[in-house]
Amino acid sequence: MSKTTPGWCFSIDVGGTFTDCVARTPAGELRTLKVLSSAALKGNVDAAEGRGIRDPGLRRARDDIFRGFQLRLLDADGVERERAEVAGSLGADGSISTAEELRGLAAARTWELVSPEEAPLLCMRLLMELRLDEKIGEAALRLGTTRGTNALLERSGARTAILTTPGFADLLLIGNQDRPRIFDLEIKKPAPLFEDVFEIPGRISAAGEELEPLDIKLAAARLVELEAAGIEAVAICLLHSLANPGHEEALAELARGHGFAEVALSSRSSVSARMVSRGDTALVDAYLAPVIRSHVDSIRASAPAVELRLLTSAGGLCSPGSFSGKDSILSGPAGGVVGSAHVAEQAGCTRAIAFDMGGTSTDVSRWDGDFEMESETMKAGVRIATPLLAIETVAAGGGSICGFDGEKLSVGPRSVGSVPGPACYGAGGELAITDMNFFLGRIPSARFPFPLDAPAVEGRLETLAATLRERGYRRDLEELAEGYIDIANQRMVAAIRKISLARGYDVRQYPLVAFGGAGAQHACAVAAGLGIRKVLVPALAGVLSAQGASQADITRIAESPVLEALDSVPPRRIEELLAELEERARSEVLTDGVGEDRLEPPRRSLDLRYRGQDSVIELETSPGEYRKDFEAAHERLYGFIHSERELELVTVRVKCTGRAGAAISAVVDESISAIDEEKTRWVFFGGEWKASTVRDEASIGEGEKIAGPAILTSAYHTIVVEPGWTATRHSSGHLLLETAGEETRGPARKHDDDPDPVQLEIFHQHFASIAEEMGVALEHSAVSTNVRERLDFSCAVFDREGGLVANAPHIPVHLGAMGDCVRQVSRRVPEISPGDVIVTNDPFLGGSHLPDITVVTPVFDGAGGELLFYTASRAHHAEIGGRRPGSMAPDSKNLSEEGVLLKGFKVIEAGRPRLIELERVLRSGPWPSRCPRENLADIEAQVAANRAGARRLEELVAARGRRTVLGYMAHIQAAARRLMEVHLDDLPQGERVFEDELDDGTKIVVKLEIGGRQARLDFSGTAQVLDNNFNATPAIVSSAVLYCFRCLIDGDIPLNAGVLEPLDVLLPECFLNPPAAEDPAECAAVAAGNVETSQRLVDVILGALGAVAASQGTMNNLLFGNDSFGYYETIAGGAGAGAGFAGAAGVHTHMTNTRITDPEVLERRYPVRLHRFCLRPGSGGAGEYPGGDGIVRELEFLEKVEVSILSQRRSRGPYGLEGGAAGKPGRNSLLRAGSEDWEELPAVTTFSAGPGDRLRIETPGGGGWGAPAGS
């Protein structure tokens, strides 16, 4: 008979390692519980006998609660020694008995009790005191779960297939064509979620018209094949299905008729007007649906009377029938976001930053009276386009591994995981942040369910200290441990600052709500680093994500894409759309059991953007105010508006909310006894041991204030109150930590004159984060597609001599070149003064080609007398003049034919803008810019990005001192030099020569000599200056050398001028170093040098190093347009294979990493039809490790255009190494309207195309490595 009493409410968060439960009993009392997500309890084997164990932690009110569980006995390494079924348990003393004798007790260190049911059911049974043979009666269950996310990470979802439009079978494999990590020669793309894909004939236009009917007969035959192959789920993604979903709906009906229960349509999974994003979202829905359903079904089978609601990625609750795969991705962390908002509200705050620090990562989000949402995110390598909470994840947590790279300390991104865990768990784990907190006295071990291993931590720290001594660094163990914590804190500070900049808000105006297992340990330091003066620690900080699930509302979001010019959409139509969406969302909320009296007013919003842009702004606005509200928001976010530009209405949206009614708001679990005793312990803060108060957090009364340093403990979390901070029990029951703003970290660090391994990493992070913030500012404030969407730009910080200090990981071809540019500007631009900003695109002033415009900003000291640093940004401008639109004419013969030359122009002089003069220059000359206003807008964005970087450098100098900052700029360059010297010492020594040829026979020759921790690259023998535009510049050579040698170093090293110091480059006058002349008409043309020759340079250098076979060796530049528009793209190909790995297919390699335009965006914005965008099977070179396949991209032009192609590797394929075969060369072909014969085009060409003409570009495959099997 069930012992259940109606009135139980459970709120549960199923995490990757632990499942947290917060419950309200029928009597209204709060209960909390934490179990393993494997549905297990864990403890130490303290007392044991032949048939069982005893542990006080297993005491329960009833006997035999654990009967039917499995008892697992584990040794010190976590290996299972024995397993037996539990025959009975005694609640009074916590003893467990088994039917058979336990033979593994002697070797057992820990035990696990594993339930046969899911973890949420285990929580419910333990709190309700129900045995396995008793039914769970009526109760309310609110559930957040990472089950879907885990299946995505582990690739353990359903066997799934895709049905798609002909020509796009490989679209989701290619994605945006960019690679995840730009310096990895072994490119690792995310594993696909689908097993098979079939193309079903049928075609819809961008306007929604049927161009070709759907082939239902073939579709039915394909479905039969999938059924026979054991496919469980089907995702359907057809081109332009948003404009006309008819074909997708017909296929879905057919699939269900063939017995497929899980069918996801892209037009229903997402309103994204991008085929890639929408297809990935549908794929996630199909792939995860059976996983989610199985999880829910197992809960409902054991608890059929329970009212179950699941937490979605949007932060709302829904019934199991409405919960989809995409809804599950942020289901777990969403609870913490909701819970933190309630905590802030209870404490009287109207806004907050949620800081959820766990074992492997930290989640950060913002609440500003409403939850911040985003329409697209990337999780586990998969794009998900649906409304979801804007949660940013930082790879830093308690389990982040603490390492040393030979020069500086490092934290993460790898984590120890729950097994073996940190070193203090005693299971052989590596040093992690948790160990550092434990070693410094910040984590009292008394609250842990098992004793912590202090000798293991100290021993590993001693070993590390010995290694540092060998490198000349003498540091106490405490200094090392605190240094690691400082590094972890700085990583989180930098990430939160970057996020706040991208979102357009000032983080200093928000309190920090710190929760999760480790959040309150680091909250004071992270808040201080951000300039935040208040921290809220929830009373249930350790289980807040579970509590938050109970506080969520029932929500539904209904959306409809519009994608039309705002002025062309009558306000009445917008209102009709909103009313229709409101009725749909409202109906769904009511269907979920919410009464009319619990409905909140609906939230209506529009997504607007400037026509031609990519990112949108979501606005709650009224008819007649659309443009005004948009421009106000745009200026607030990006600092400018374009009053003359047309607005586009992208999406209309309605959110309906109903109060769920099962919120658990209590904050005190009275079943856990508070220890009302104050102690003192020594804790290490700011370089010294300090006597610190230790209190049980629950014993702190309302209004009571605890001065730091203090350690406040609870069952599930520890709060570190740093010196200079106080903790007060707020009337809401939560703890409020405050600082007066004084220095809280003790005395300033020493060792500023001599490099310190801790400070090397912290300053490396400082400088790198400044460059990244510059990139965020530029991306958000620029106008052009090249910058905002293709991300064809780079930002960097330089020392006063123009040496590269740090860059954001943007475009490799810009990296070394920008240093040359800054140095040349500093030498050749006369009288650089405070308030000056210089703009240049001069290839002979450290530039690359004319479309790449560099803005250089000198940064002086406060008095304006001494030059300290430079910030610089380089962006590709789609138009800068020249013979042809796009400024990359294939037939240019000298520099003047390629556009407007800017020879170090002061766009700002002594603080005075000179934009009018710059516009005059852009409109001058024989080939002026066709888009000077867009040039100016992007240059202004670059100026603003540089200014943001300069401001951050000035703040850093104010905080740490000029001498220290300048000193560490030099130190990190020296550290990078030493790391490169060590690596050169490990490479094969001696001399080798390697050469390759461009398609016209032009030679690139390098003689590489390695010895004595130095490398010399001699390009003597390289062809002379060319009469075409494949000439390069020394700056491009520097970029290629820097890139190649950085790729050889595994791990995260500072990429700066120090890497180049041991590398001596001998570059005689040749086509890689053409002579300069005052008259551009006398200078060599260089348009293709940056995009094509740079790729071949990399192949030659890597070939000489024997590092990897050749990649495609080209960017496959395609330009087309007419008087009304211009378009430019680069197309990916195959990557070269290496020792132990195959080359990746369909990806950008080496000196570029720009994205490609989505097929639907391309067809909607430009007069073209994309017939094929797929991999080119068999184009990768054969080998023991084959090269990656190239791509086929086939376009049909719908109106008259001028077309230009700049490509290479059309006559000879990319070379293989160690017996591997060359990849297939690329091919460019043209099919004229009305003809059946494809005409082969040259690698470099320009031509006119008319309606119906088709262009096909087949990109090269990568070279193979090692002799093929059987050769």
Which tens digits make up the pLDDT trace of 368-402?
988 989 888 888 888 999 999 999 888 888 888 99
Which of the residue ranges 670-679, 877-886, 1152-1161, 1225-1234 would you say has the lowest mean pLDDT? 670-679
Q: What is the pLDDT of the chain when averaged over all its residues?
A: 90
Please list, in sequence order, all residues whose beta carbon lies within 8 angstroms of the beta carbon of residue 680, skipping any fewer than 6 positions away: 691, 692, 693, 694
What pLDDT band is residue 847 in, cutting at 50, 70 and 90? confident
pLDDT given at position 676: 60
Please tell me the chain's helix, strand, coil percentages from 3-state DSSP, rounded to the nearest 5.
Answer: 30, 25, 40
pLDDT given at position 81: 85
Torsional sign, CA 174, 176, 180, 184: positive
State how far Cα 675 lies from the chain centre: 43
pLDDT > 90: what percent of the chain? Answer: 66
Average pLDDT of 1065-1081?
Answer: 95
Instruction: Measure the CA dihedral 785/786/791/794, to 10°.
Output: -140
Which of the residue ranges 537-546, 1119-1128, 1262-1271 would you say has the lowest mean pLDDT? 1119-1128
pLDDT over 70 at 407, yes or no: yes
What pLDDT band is residue 534 in, cutting at 50, 70 and 90? very high
Alpha-carbon span 255 to 181, nearest angstrom: 38
In order of 418, 455, 457, 459, the CA distances from 428 in angstroms are 12, 12, 10, 12
> Residue 1258 in 3-state DSSP?
strand
pLDDT given at position 669: 65
In order of 177, 492, 1160, 1193, 1248, the CA distances from 1230 in angstroms are 24, 52, 22, 12, 11
What pLDDT band is residue 752 in, cutting at 50, 70 and 90? low
pLDDT given at position 1: 30
Give the closest residue to 560 by CA, choosing from 606, 608, 512: 606
pLDDT over 80 at 250, yes or no: yes
Alpha-carbon span 1249 to 1257, nearest angstrom: 15
pLDDT digits (tens, 9 = 90+) for 284-334: 999 999 999 999 999 999 999 999 999 999 999 999 988 999 999 999 899
Beta strands 725-729; 837-840: pairing state = unpaired
Tokens of 1065: 């480059």
> CB 77: neighbour CB atoms within 10 A?
11
Cis-peptide into 1054, omega within 30 deg: no
Tokens of 740: 């007066």
Q: Is 914 exposed, middle or buried (0-12, 13-18, 19+ CB in 10 A)?
A: middle
Let me know: does 881 contact 895? Beta carbons within 8 Å.
no
pLDDT digits (tens, 9 = 90+) for 1198-1236: 999 999 999 999 999 999 999 999 999 999 999 999 999
Which of the residue ranges 776-790, 946-960, 1056-1070, 1160-1174 would you say has the lowest mean pLDDT? 776-790
pLDDT given at position 163: 99
Alpha-carbon span 401 to 427, nearest angstrom: 15
End-to-end CA distance of the chain: 73
At 953, the amino acid letter reads: L
Alpha-carbon span 308 to 297, nearest angstrom: 11
Alpha-carbon span 113 to 125, nearest angstrom: 14
Tokens of 551: 């506080």
pLDDT digits (tens, 9 = 90+) for 327-375: 999 998 999 999 999 999 999 999 999 999 988 888 999 999 889 898 8
pTM of the complete model: 0.91
Strand order in the sheet with 1117-1122: 1125-1129, 1117-1122, 1201-1206, 1244-1249
pLDDT given at position 743: 43
Let me know: does 605 contact 620? Beta carbons within 8 Å.
yes
pLDDT given at position 674: 58
pLDDT over 60 at 5, yes or no: no
pLDDT > 70: what percent of the chain? Answer: 96
Let me know: does 890 contact 999? Beta carbons within 8 Å.
no
Tokens of 1052: 């995260």
pLDDT given at position 748: 42
Tokens of 623: 């008819």
At 97, the amino acid letter reads: S
- Among 100-109, 444-453, 527-536, the range of highest mean pLDDT: 527-536
Let me know: does 156 contact 227? Beta carbons within 8 Å.
no
Alpha-carbon span 680 to 440, nearest angstrom: 14
Alpha-carbon span 13 to 22, nearest angstrom: 9
Alpha-carbon span 333 to 337, nearest angstrom: 7
> CB 746: neighbour CB atoms within 10 A?
16
Beta strands 990-997; 1003-1011: pairing state = antiparallel
pLDDT over 60 at 751, yes or no: no
For 554-658, CATH gives 3.30.1490
Alpha-carbon span 904 to 853, nearest angstrom: 10
pLDDT given at position 1258: 99
Average pLDDT of 952-970?
Answer: 92
Alpha-carbon span 419 to 1212, nearest angstrom: 51
What pLDDT band is residue 182 in, cutting at 50, 70 and 90? confident
Alpha-carbon span 844 to 861, nearest angstrom: 30
Tokens of 252: 């879905």
Give the closest residue to 831 by CA, choosing from 904, 882, 776: 904
pLDDT over 60 at 2, yes or no: no
pLDDT given at position 753: 65
Average pLDDT of 1001-1030?
Answer: 96
Alpha-carbon span 1017 to 381, nearest angstrom: 38
Tokens 């450098």 belong to 953
